[in-house]
Amino acid sequence: QVHLVESGGGSVQAGGSLRLSCAASGYTYAITFIGWFRQAPGKEREGVAVIATSGGNTYYSDSVKGRFTVSQDNAKNTVHLQMNSLKPGDAAIYYCAAASCILWVRDPLGQCKYNDWGQGTQVTVSS
């Protein structure tokens, strides 16, 4: 079992920045991707960003590309999501999730099965 804990959420004005963290513990050996997802009122859960834990390749949804950056700190077993130029549409509960998926998958956000999820952290963006 993999345990994930998100942190770093908060309230920020449009144009501001937040840095989310996802700390992983448990059986992390088999994890190949850590993804970030968000759920906003009235919207479906949306894949935001993902990082391959082996090699560090990153993938982003079109809505956040160029504004968000996902990275990992292997020494701390932690993945970060740096969110810049935040918009009101970015407001949501953000979750990190772990997947054991083939490394050559074309779309890790859409194609991989994310079996382990954190509890989420709230991000609020005011205009």
Burial class (CB in 10 A: 0-12, 13-18, 19+), 120: middle
Mean local confidence (pLDDT), 14-34: 95
User: Is 64's pLDDT higher than 90?
Assistant: yes
Q: Please give the backbone phi and psi of residue 88, each rounded to the nearest 5 degrees, phi first.
A: -55, -30
Q: Which amino acid, one-letter code, is at 65?
A: K
Which residue would you say has higher pLDDT here, 104 or 18?
Answer: 18
* DSSP code for 102: -
Which residue would you say has higher pLDDT here, 32 or 102?
Answer: 32
Mean pLDDT of the chain: 95
Residue 34's pLDDT band, with cuts at 50, 70 and 90, is very high
Task: List strand residue ranges (DSSP E) for 40-113, in order.
Answer: 46-52, 58-60, 68-73, 78-83, 92-99
Identify the helix (H) or strand (E) that includes residue 23. Answer: strand 18-26
pLDDT tens per residue, range 69-102: 999 998 889 999 999 999 999 999 999 999 999 8
Identify the helix (H) or strand (E) that includes residue 17. Answer: none
User: Is 104's pLDDT higher than 90?
Assistant: no
